[in-house]
């Protein structure tokens, strides 16, 4: 793809991501807020695909948006609003500004000019590494996820 179009696409997606993130934390209805989180996940996947990580983008859409965020949306729809929400916007703005300054200062120190984007990822190398070199890690992850789901079911049923 033409590099200028790629940059323009990244710019539009970035602006949309910031607007949607603002809506997630400020919309009063929690069902709408969680639905907007799914949109934010989609936009993150789009940004990920723009920099060349197509496999990660697919994984974000399938596992994160398709399973985790859908679980949040369904749970909130079942719970309802949960009563009146209290806000302390002044404290939030101060914390956001402090974190913005700290993150900007921290990441301005790191040199990112050495990497060329979009990257080229060979999915067969990733799959081979995961199933051979990182196989114990994958096994631990699968067991941890299975235990997590069982634990969640136990906590939810106990009440």
Judged by CB under 8 A, the chain residues 87 through 106 that form the site for other proteins are: 87-89, 91-93, 95-97, 99-100, 103-104
* Residue among 135, 139, 143, 145 that touches other proteins (CB under 8 A): 145
| Residues between 42 and 71 that touch other proteins (CB under 8 A) | 44, 47-48, 50-53, 55-56, 59-60, 63-64, 67-69, 71
Give CA separation, 132 vs 20, 30, 76, 78, 128, in Å. 39, 43, 40, 42, 6
Within 10 angstroms of residue 69's Cβ, the number of other Cβ atoms is 21
State both tokens at 119: 């990257």
Q: Per CB under 8 A, does 141 bind other proteins?
A: yes
State both tokens at 95: 């914390």
Q: Per CB under 8 A, does 72 bind other proteins?
A: yes
Q: Considering Cα of 69, then 73, then 78, then 80, what sign does the dihedral take?
A: positive
Least distance (Å) from other proteins to the CB of residue 61? 10
């Amino acid at each position: 793809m033409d590099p200028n179009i790629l940059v323009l696409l990244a710019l539009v997606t970035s602006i949309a991501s910031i607007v949607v993130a603002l809506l997630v934390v400020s919309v009063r209805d929690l069902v709408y807020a969680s639905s907007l989180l799914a949109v934010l996940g989609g936009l993150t996947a789009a940004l990920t695909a723009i920099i060349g990580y197509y496999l990660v983008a697919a994984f974000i859409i399938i596992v994160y948006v398709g399973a985790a965020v859908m679980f949040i949306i369904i749970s909130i729809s079942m719970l309802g609003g949960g009563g009146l929400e209290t806000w302390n916007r002044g404290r939030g703005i101060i914390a956001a500004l402090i974190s913005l300054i700290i993150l900007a200062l921290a990441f301005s120190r790191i040199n990112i000019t050495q990497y060329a984007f979009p990257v080229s990822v060979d999915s067969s190398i990733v799959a081979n590494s995961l199933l051979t070199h990182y196989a114990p890690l994958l096994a631990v992850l699968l067991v941890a996820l299975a235990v997590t789901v069982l634990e969640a079911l136990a906590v939810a049923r106990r009440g």
